Amino acid sequence: MAKKHPETKFLAVEKVVSVAGVLLQKINENELTNVKLLYEDISKEIIEINDKKVDKIYLNFSDPWPKKRHEKRRLTHPNNLKEYRRILKDDGEIIFKTDNTGLFEYSLETFVNSGFELIYVDNEYKLIEDDVMTEFEKQFREQGIAIHRLIARKKD
């Protein structure tokens, strides 16, 4: 997305060192100057972001944490959505993609219950022009796994 939209500033937050390393390599290879990479857990970093500063949040293929006891670790848990609402501008959006049906169904409910309006929901998402395919997405598509995508807008 940073390559496609050089006029936009991106903050990438990743807590898995190998994934962060691959991302840093891509940032350097593509000479991207509009991306800042934080090697950190977003739940620790988000408290540093000022209110209403972010236009969009992309949640791409996050860990589904399928066990009930790990629910609070999900990036779409109500506690996280509350923080996303705080940092999003009034018309801010979250774009969420996953291959995990259970996480997607859980997230549909948590978004609505956390003050977001679902403006786009697709259980068999095909890539659209203004989107880019992640490496995980490419792998899943090659295996015939359906991709789920939603766009949620912050409601007043």
**Catalytic residue list:** 63
d(CA 74, CA 103): 8
d(CA 121, CA 85): 19
Q: Pairing state of beta strands 10-14 and 35-39?
A: parallel
d(CA 82, CA 95): 16
